[in-house]
Amino acid sequence: MIKGLNLPDSPRTAVFILLAEVIRNDPLIRSVCKETSLRFLDGDPREKNELGLDQAPAMRFTVSTGPDEWWQPESFKGPLVINVEMLVKGFNQLDVQNLWWALVRAIYPKDQATKLAIQKRLVSAGAETGQCRFTQPAYDPQQLPASGGFHAMGQITLMIRLPLNT
């Protein structure tokens, strides 16, 4: 990550950075997506160009939020919403679902110890439980008939603790 502003990381930022690391380092994701095809918009100058089908399979992750609410006397909690844009080459719409499933398995790997370690790290970074909800799993894949591929969107949501006394 390359910082633009000299500010401390918010809890949402810390959780997003950790989740990006988990996804980037997953062996299955790395086997199908080039490093430059995983876009986290975290200051890398290689990400300045538009994501194109020539880079597919590709995923772009952008951060959004939702309403915060009081959680404890000195803290809020609120969602970290990560929008996932996916591009897949070819004419098989099921490739979109399979790429989404690879993303799910990166966050929730088969190995129980690894899965629990990821959740523990997410909690340490600021997540309420460390559990991701896939609130919009690769919905509405749109065929790109002229270029032979699919464009789809998905969404991952985590609840984040936002302490006011730290």
Q: How many distinct structural domains can be found in the chain?
A: 1
Picking from 83, 104, 78, the residue whose alpha carbon sits closest to that of residue 159 is: 78
Residues 6+ apart with CB under 8 A from 143: 91, 93, 149, 150
Q: Determine, yes or no, domain membership for 62.
A: yes
Per-residue pLDDT of the chain (166 residues; tens, 9 = 90+): 677 788 999 999 999 999 999 999 999 999 999 988 999 988 777 777 788 888 999 999 999 999 898 888 888 999 999 999 999 999 898 999 999 999 999 999 999 999 999 999 999 999 999 999 999 988 878 888 777 899 999 999 999 999 888 7
Strand partners, 85: 60, 153
The span from the CA of 105 to the CA of 110, in Å, is 7
Q: Determine, yes or no, domain membership for 1.
A: no
Please answer whether residues 53 and 89 qualify as being in contact, where contact means their C-beta atoms are separated by less than 8 angstroms: yes
* pTM exceeding the 0.95 threshold for the entire prediction: no
CATH code of the domain covering residue 94: 3.30.70
